[in-house]
Structure 1
Amino acid sequence: MNCWNCAAKIEVVTGGRIGFRDECPGCGRALHSCRNCGFYDEAYNNGCREPMAERVVDKERFNFCEYFIPGDASARPQAKAKGGAQDKLEALFKKKS
């Protein structure tokens, strides 16, 4: 798997587990977090494709979710930056001085 923050390659032995408090050797961020989970998907309710998982507010911090499976964060699309349409909408509804 790759770290969601720095994309460092993390070796996970088949059948191995990521500990609840394991950190990325590259950047020190949480490995057992929603952003590194194979179920993480912002399009789903609570950002998770696992319907039985409890809600986690901060997706970038350590959590104790039992449904965690190592995912490939580098394969996921990054959050979209403001684009032309969003800027046009904001300009349209902006208060005029």
Structure 2
Amino acid sequence: MKPLYCWKCHSLLTNVILPMSRREECANCGADQHVCKMCTYFDSKKGCDEERAEEVSDLEKANFCDYFKPSFVIFERPVEDKSQAAKAKLAALFSDPVPVTDQTDQPLTPKELAEKKLRELLGG
């Protein structure tokens, strides 16, 4: 049997009995697993590809869909969280795609990075 991975935290799901119970949860993050986002019929752009399935209002909560089939794909982690996206946008303002680090190899905060770049531009 192929392994199943949590759609939310991407952890390997263990001890899952198929067909998957509506009450199945991820042991790591507690997310429901009998959800639209975990189904093979789910398309993140279009929604459910199963024409006969009833519309579900919350795609991340357990549902009673009779057409649910768990997806065996390894869900990809988001490339970056909101803070990383903000840092990348700030860095892009100064033509620096990667956040700069200081002497202690700790990433600079967006404020520190902006101040550093401004000082470099002004020659200080």
TM-score, normalised via structure 2 length: 0.53
Q: Of residues 38, 45, 53 in structure 2, which corresponds to 1:36?
A: 38
The Cα offsets for residues 31-81 of structure 1, whole Å up to 9 and x where unpaired, read as 10011111110332xx11111000001100010001010103534685xx9
Q: What is the CA–CA distance in structure 2 between the aligned matches of 1:4 and 1:73, rounded to whole Å? A: 9
Map 1:15-30 → 2, pairs under 5 A: 16-30=18-32
Q: What is the CA–CA distance in structure 1 between the aligned matches of 2:7 and 2:54, rounded to whole Å? A: 21
Is the 1:36–1:73 contact (alpha carbons within 8 Å) kept by the matching residues of 2? no
Q: Could you tell me which residue of structure 1 aligns to residue 6 of structure 2?
A: 3
Q: Percent identity?
A: 36
Gaps of 5+ in 1: 84-97
C-alpha RMSD of the superposition: 2.7
Map 1:1-97 → 2, pairs under 5 A: 1-11=4-14, 12=16, 16-44=18-46, 47-72=47-72, 74-75=74-75
Larger Rg belongs to: 2
The secondary structure found in structure 1 opposite 2:74 is helix
Is the 2:6–2:75 contact (alpha carbons within 8 Å) kept by the matching residues of 1? no
Is the 1:4–1:36 contact (alpha carbons within 8 Å) kept by the matching residues of 2? yes
Q: What is the CA–CA distance in structure 2 between the aligned matches of 1:39 and 1:77, rounded to whole Å? A: 20
| Alignment coverage as a number of residue pairs | 79
Q: Which has the higher strand share?
A: 2
Is the 1:24–1:30 contact (alpha carbons within 8 Å) kept by the matching residues of 2? yes
Distance change >3 Å, CA 51–CA 73, structure 1 → 2: same
> Letter of the aligned partner of 1:37 in structure 2?
C
Q: What is the CA–CA distance in structure 1 between the aligned matches of 2:11 and 2:76, rounded to whole Å? A: 15
TM-score, normalised via structure 1 length: 0.67
Runs of 4+ in structure 1 over 4 Å off: 75-78
Gaps of 5+ in 2: 86-124
